[in-house]
A and B are shown apart, each in its own frame.
Chain A
Amino acid sequence: MTETAADTPLRETLLAPIHRALGARMVPFAGYSMPVQYPTGIIAEHKWTREHAGLFDVSHMGPSLLMLADRSGDPDRDHAAVSALIEPLITADVRGLKLGQVRYTLLLNDKGGILDDLMVARPRDPKWSGTLYIVVNAGTKNADFAAISAAAGDRAKLHRADDNALIALQGPEAAVVMRDFVPAAADLGFMTVGSFRHEDTDLTISRSGYTGEDGFEILVPPDHATDIWNRLTQDPRVKPIGLGARDSLRLEAGLPLYGHDLDETTSPVEADLGFAVSKRRREAADFPGAKRLLGEVAGGATRVRVGLTVEGAPAREGAEILDAEGHALGKVTSGGFAPTLNKPIAMGYVPPAFAKAGTRLGVSVRGRVQPAIVTAMPFVPHRYFRKPA
């Protein structure tokens, strides 16, 4: 995450007055004042999301639309044209996206280091042909948007949509809540997106999230942000959830956080995100730093992201990871307490020889070594919605 200088005024999302009225504790995050927790506290919010449905204000993130300047009118041709503009920056087979499909991908520098992780989607609605819906991280959005705009030149225009509200509804009851709110959106498959209408509001809804649970991410026009938030929180199955629980939920789900578990020095192979490099792109080796990635796939990586189950005090970001003899292997990149498991967990980087699940390592916390066992991720199984065939 990009730290903000102390003299930079914090931005607020459209929902900030609601958070304050609910008694949220607001903290600076990626240049925004954001709710880290509501009065119920992080553990209660975390557990509510795992058992019911949590509502998260993630309007600090970077939703955007990349729109082809001159459309031919042929949807496939226009999609191929806009895809060709962004593909040189990222690892996804964008051209191969089906209508309504969302894909997790990585923005890389020319050394194959990760500049951001992001979602790219192909809208289903024919009126959006030649357009991509792109959602990037809050701390990196200005740089990402600049890079995408530069790559697009005058052939496409990037329209920021981060003046809207972005609301995530997550948890095992998210789908039944959606069924009562926007019924058609409850039929979305995992990692698909669509345009929907709720009363007089146009909503872009994807079935996706950052908790490991089933759920949706809803882009809401500014004028309706408060109404939609209130409408959803009126449902007794839904409670507002802060960024603190968002972090513990994604950690349990084994999902990396940009700026902590991923940065410009990390490659997709090191980060164990090889799945984000589409087959066609890998075969063509036509993405930034492809040579490094292919070398690492062949066994050349010096470190890899692993999960750790920690005994004792939580091992936080920066804690040293040690082998059985006490030699430093790498560092924890994010760590904390896992409310679902009732014990501390962490992610960090170690050489591949130490990455096998079950390997006994140590972590140094306040100068003392505590046991840590390499653990397959996710720590808590994903429960994404799989559409019946």
Chain B
Amino acid sequence: MTTRYTREHEWIRLDGDTALVGISQYAQEQLGDIVFVELPAVGKKLAKGDEAAVVESVKAASEIFAPVAGEVVAVNDALADAPGTVNSDPEAGGWFLKLKVANRADLDSLMDEAAYKAFLETI
């Protein structure tokens, strides 16, 4: 499984031709306590960069963008009752949605973990 990151701090983890999408540890720290997550409808087709979800912290709402193009095949319904999972376990249990990826090669343009860590150093 490959995990890739965007400059907007989403992660995407490919397994076969589907991929989980969430936000990074850095992103959850920046957002603070997450109190609500708005997830897309299953079946929704997203282009790369489309708004995929919205996370609400105590202070503000922030958009989450699709790291690559694909179709939403599942969403993490558990976040409805436990949005704080995005804070406590952002890169596993706090996943937002599962995409059927249109083109696996699209992930190649995203940062791997080392590159993302180097990118965080520059912020």
Contacts and interface: CB of A to CB of B under 8 A. Distances in A.
Q: Do A and B bind each other?
A: yes
Interface of A: 36-37, 41-44, 46, 244, 247-248, 312-314, 316, 336-337, 339, 344, 366
Contacts of A44: 33
Given A244-B58, A314-B61, A336-B59, 5 more contacts: A36-B59, A43-B33, A314-B35, A314-B56, A316-B60
B31 to A, nearest CB: 10
Contacts of B32: 37, 41-42, 244
Nearest to A336: B58
A313 B54 CA distance: 10
A313 B60 CA distance: 11
Given A337-B35, A366-B38, A313 B58 contact: no
A165 B117 CA distance: 40
Main secondary structure of the interface of A (DSSP, over half): mixed
Given A313-B54, A366-B54, A337 B36 contact: yes
A337 B56 contact: yes
Contacts of A312: 36
Nearest to B83: A337
Contact of A244 (B35, B36, B56, B59): B59
Interface in B24-79: 32-33, 35-36, 38, 54, 56-61
A116 B108 CA distance: 55
B36 A313 contact: yes
Contacts of A339: 58
A313 B38 contact: yes
23 contacts: A36-B59, A41-B33, A42-B57, A42-B59, A43-B35, A44-B33, A244-B32, A244-B58, A312-B36, A313-B36, A313-B56, A314-B35, A314-B56, A314-B61, A316-B61, A336-B58, A336-B59, A337-B35, A337-B36, A337-B56, A339-B58, A344-B36, A366-B54
Contacts of B36: 312-314, 337, 344
A344 to B, nearest CB: 7
Given A314-B36, A337-B35, A337-B36, A43 B54 contact: no
Contacts of B56: 313-314, 337
B59 to A, nearest CB: 6
* Residue of B32, B57, B59, B61 most packed against chain A (CB within 10 A): B59
A339 B57 CA distance: 11
A316 B62 CA distance: 12
Nearest to B61: A316
Contact of A43 (B38, B58, B60, B61): B58
B58 A248 contact: yes
Contacts of B54: 313, 366
A17 B6 CA distance: 34
Nearest to A36: B59
Given A366-B38, A366-B54, A313 B61 contact: yes
B56 to A, nearest CB: 5
A82 to B, nearest CB: 41
B61 A42 contact: no
Contacts of A247: 59
* Residue of A244, A312, A337, A344 most packed against chain B (CB within 10 A): A337
Nearest to B51: A366
A336 B59 CA distance: 7
Given A36-B59, A337-B56, A42 B38 contact: no
A337 B35 CA distance: 7
A269 B36 CA distance: 34
